[in-house]
């Protein structure tokens, strides 16, 4: 078989590159077609005024041993020569009056701190810490596509992780907002609601806290750009082919079998298998013929909630910020007044102050970023009205954020090298993601119950990968789905999947 079976992959983000690397490790002839001028997709960095703006990774789950994803990143070659920074706090929640809440990554320290704020919540705090610890001891990822697991694998997964699995099952159906309501302390309640997205499932939040507790999720020095460089290098070093600046417009099908892709220049590129590793809605509605996906999957795409579209604020500041403790999400501060961003109103914002990564800025200067949830429709309308209103709105948001930073860091307004605002339109243009969403499906109690198909009985030799087929999104599930697509192809070729280190 070696090199005689050809795989075309649509999209050169983390999922496409991971599929490409495992494809090459298993001897396939692989070509990735990427519509952008560089690889990375959502996970990217860009240069402004001598700063290296990190556009994605805040942490990489699996940066250290203790979780299967670590072995996957080793296989993918991204950990070689990479330094990681481990934060002591998940988020620093600042109150103007009253007590600040520090979401320490060390569970014991977190427990003491929360108890010092609200002794009456001792029982709930105790439960929270107990569950974080239980999950920290479990390893809930598995080394094979779910469809490919046999009874022996399942037994191993459950017997090793029975307590962790119980915790996840219990909290899968509860949102963070509903969990927050249980606290008697208003300060803690509010802090939980602002931790991340309040509609997210509580089990997802517990998992994140357990990764932080285990120090298995670090920030790669050099950010998203450096991470993607490593991944791309591994792929091309293995002999993978990369076609940049070529948008795929169609998946070619003959006799219910994918036989290749067509690019926007109308050229057909034939292959034995096709893997789509780009926006799921585009694939199902535009690249495939109608009625290829099953009704349940189509329904999921119509009804499930996506991660919100983002406004991404970045600023280059001529200042060092030595006084700020680093944290995974950043310094969460209240705003003077509600800030309207599209149809969303923000009362608080988390600023990431990159005083822990010198590669993101010139000497003695600092990159500062903030992620603000917004909505695609608002920005689309504004953008359609022309460049002037669109730019004016971006500029208003930038100024408001700076004004609030001034309160925390007096003098900062005079130290600005640049301010840049990316909107859902920017994300859509760069990556093709539906409504500019940056992570696919939000892990809500509803979506965690829904199975989204990655291949369809009526279409052979076609597989889907990426954050649209892995609820909760993020780099590890996206990369893992690329790995799984190659595992499926190996099964259909009746060859042993290589680099299969995880369940051994
Ligand atoms: C601000 C921010 C912070 C984040 N923080 C984290 C974090 O801390 N940890 C974490 O794990 N994840 C994080 N993420 C999420 C993570 O970056 C994404 O989930 C992941 O990169 C998705 O990868 P993907 O390959 O599935 O999709 P994408 O990155 O969207 O890749 C799809 C690729 O397909 C290409 N493409 C689309 N359509 C076509 C076409 N028709 N033809 C050819 N090419 C096409 C696109 O250009 C793109 O390169 C963050 C994201 C953002 C924006």
Residue 317: the pLDDT is 98
Question: What are 418's strand-pairing partners?
Answer: 316
Question: What are 34's strand-pairing partners?
Answer: 244
The upper half-sphere exposure of residue 486, i.e. CA atoms within 13 Å in the direction of its Cβ, equals 31
Residue 502: the pLDDT is 46
42 pocket-lining for ligand 1 (C-beta < 6 Å)? yes
CA nearest ligand 1 atom 34, residue: 11
Residue 501: the pLDDT is 53
Helix, coil or strand: residue 128: helix
467 pocket-lining for ligand 1 (C-beta < 6 Å)? yes
What is the average per-residue pLDDT within 385-413? 97
Alpha carbon distance 502, 479 (integer Å): 15
What is the average per-residue pLDDT within 229-234? 97
**Domains with residue ranges and CATH for the chain:** 6-43+73-77+223-303+442-493 (3.50.50.60), 105-214 (no CATH), 309-434 (no CATH)
Is the model's pLDDT at 370 over the cut of 60?
yes
Q: Please write the tens of the pLDDT for every residue from 256-270.
A: 999 999 999 999 999
Is the model's pLDDT at 60 over the cut of 60?
yes
Alpha carbon distance 78, 234 (integer Å): 8
Residue 331: the pLDDT is 95
Residues 94/100, Cβ–Cβ less than 8 Å: yes
Given the CA of residue 17, which atom of ligand 1 is nearest to it? 25
Q: How close is the Cα of 467 to the center of ligand 1, in Å?
A: 7
Strand order in the sheet with 462-464: 241-244, 29-34, 6-10, 273-276, 462-464
| 150: its two tokens | 């046999």
What is the average per-residue pLDDT within 57-81? 93
Residues 501/65, Cβ–Cβ less than 8 Å: no
371 pocket-lining for ligand 1 (C-beta < 6 Å)? yes
Between 91-95, 204-208, 428-432, 446-450, the lowest mean confidence (pLDDT) is in 446-450
Is the model's pLDDT at 92 over the cut of 80?
yes
Given the CA of residue 41, which atom of ligand 1 is nearest to it? 49
Give the confidence band of 204 by pLDDT, cuts at 50, 70, 90.
Answer: confident
Question: What are 6's strand-pairing partners?
Answer: 29
With 0-12 CB in 10 A as exposed, 13-18 as middle and 19+ as buried, what is 248?
buried
What is the average per-residue pLDDT within 422-440? 92
Is the model's pLDDT at 24 over the cut of 80?
yes
Give the confidence band of 476 by pLDDT, cuts at 50, 70, 90.
Answer: very high
What is the average per-residue pLDDT within 414-439? 94
Give the confidence band of 153 by pLDDT, cuts at 50, 70, 90.
Answer: low
Helix, coil or strand: residue 502: coil
Is the model's pLDDT at 9 over the cut of 70?
yes
Alpha carbon distance 336, 281 (integer Å): 39
Residue 503: the pLDDT is 41
Alpha carbon distance 408, 398 (integer Å): 16
Residue 473: the pLDDT is 81
Alpha carbon distance 208, 220 (integer Å): 17
What is the average per-residue pLDDT within 110-114? 97
What is the average per-residue pLDDT within 31-47? 97
> What rounded mean pLDDT belongs to the chain?
90
Between 210-224, 333-347, 442-456, the lowest mean confidence (pLDDT) is in 442-456
DSSP annotation of 101 reads E
Give the confidence band of 504 by pLDDT, cuts at 50, 70, 90.
Answer: very low
Residues 203/138, Cβ–Cβ less than 8 Å: no
478 pocket-lining for ligand 1 (C-beta < 6 Å)? yes
Nearest 5°: the CA angle 160, 164, 165 is: 85
What is the average per-residue pLDDT within 49-54? 98
Given the CA of residue 328, which atom of ligand 1 is nearest to it? 8
Residue 450: the pLDDT is 77
**445-458: buried (b, 16+ CB within 10 Å) or exposed (e) per residue?**
bbbbeeebebbbee
Alpha carbon distance 486, 466 (integer Å): 13
User: 215 or 169: whose pLDDT is higher?
Assistant: 215
User: 38 or 436: whose pLDDT is higher?
Assistant: 38
Residue 289: the pLDDT is 82
Place of tokens 């703006």: 53
What is the average per-residue pLDDT within 428-452? 83
DSSP symbols for 406-418: HHHSTTGGGGEEE
From 34, 39, 40, 41, the mutation candidate for ligand 1 (largest count of ligand atoms within 8 A of CB) is 41
Give the confidence band of 158 by pLDDT, cuts at 50, 70, 90.
Answer: low
Residues 417/49, Cβ–Cβ less than 8 Å: yes
The pTM (predicted TM-score) of the whole model is 0.92
What share of the chain has pLDDT > 70, as a percent? Answer: 93
CA nearest ligand 1 atom 17, residue: 43
Residue 379: the pLDDT is 97
250 pocket-lining for ligand 1 (C-beta < 6 Å)? no
Residue 472: the pLDDT is 77
Is the model's pLDDT at 147 over the cut of 70?
no
CA nearest ligand 1 atom 1, residue: 56
Q: How close is the Cα of 223 to the center of ligand 1, in Å?
A: 14
34 pocket-lining for ligand 1 (C-beta < 6 Å)? yes
482 pocket-lining for ligand 1 (C-beta < 6 Å)? no
């Amino acid at each position: 078989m070696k090199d005689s079976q050809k795989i075309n992959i649509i999209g050169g983000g983390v999922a496409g590159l991971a599929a490409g690397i495992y494809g090459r490790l298993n001897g396939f002839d692989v070509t990735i077609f990427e519509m952008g001028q560089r690889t990375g997709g959502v996970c990217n960095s860009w240069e402004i005024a001598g700063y290296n703006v990190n556009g994605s990774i805040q942490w990489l789950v699996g940066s250290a041993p203790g979780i299967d994803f670590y072995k996957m990143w080793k296989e993918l070659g991204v950990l070689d020569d990479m330094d990681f920074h481990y934060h002591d706090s998940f988020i620093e929640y600042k109150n103007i009056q009253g007590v600040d809440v520090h979401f320490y990554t060390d569970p014991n320290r977190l427990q003491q701190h929360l108890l010092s704020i609200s002794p009456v919540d001792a029982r709930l705090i105790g439960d929270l810490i107990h569950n974080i610890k239980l999950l920290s001891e479990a390893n809930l990822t598995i080394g094979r596509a779910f469809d490919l697991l046999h009874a022996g694998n399942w037994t191993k997964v459950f017997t090793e992780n029975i307590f962790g699995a119980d915790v996840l099952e219990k909290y899968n159906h509860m949102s963070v907002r509903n969990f927050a309501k249980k606290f008697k302390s208003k300060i803690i309640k509010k802090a939980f609601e602002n931790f991340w997205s309040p509609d997210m499932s509580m089990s997802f939040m517990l998992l994140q806290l357990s990764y932080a507790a285990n120090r298995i999720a670090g920030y790669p020095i050099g950010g998203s750009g450096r991470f993607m460089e490593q991944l791309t290098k591994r792929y091309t070093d293995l002999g993978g082919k990369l076609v940049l600046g070529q948008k795929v417009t169609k998946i070619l099908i003959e006799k219910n079998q994918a036989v290749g892709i067509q690019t926007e220049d109308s050229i057909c590129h034939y292959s034995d298998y096709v893997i789509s590793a780009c926006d799921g809605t585009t694939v199902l509605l535009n690249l495939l013929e109608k009625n290829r996906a099953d009704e349940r999957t189509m329904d999921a795409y119509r009804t499930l909630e996506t991660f919100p579209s983002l406004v991404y604020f970045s600023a280059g500041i001529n200042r060092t910020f030595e006084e700020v403790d680093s944290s995974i999400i950043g310094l969460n501060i209240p705003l003077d007044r509600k800030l309207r961003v599209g149809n969303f109103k923000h009362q608080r914002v988390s600023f990431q102050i990159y005083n822990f990564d010198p590669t993101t800025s010139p000497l003695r200067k600092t990159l500062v970023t903030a992620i603000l949830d917004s909505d695609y429709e608002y920005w689309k309308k504004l953008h359609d009205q022309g460049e002037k209103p669109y730019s004016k709105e971006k500029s208003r948001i930038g100024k408001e954020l700076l004004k609030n930073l001034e309160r925390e860091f007096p003098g900062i307004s005079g130290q600005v090298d640049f301010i840049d605002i990316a909107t859902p339109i920017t994300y859509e243009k760069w990556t093709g993601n539906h409504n500019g969403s940056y992570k696919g499906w939000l892990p809500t109690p509803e979506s965690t119950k829904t199975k989204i198909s990655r291949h369809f009985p009526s279409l052979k030799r076609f597989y889907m990968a990426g954050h649209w087929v892995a609820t909760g999104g993020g780099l590890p599930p996206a990369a893992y789905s690329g790995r799984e697509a190659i595992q499926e192809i190996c099964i259909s070729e009746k060859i042993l999947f290589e680099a299969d280190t995880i369940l051994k």
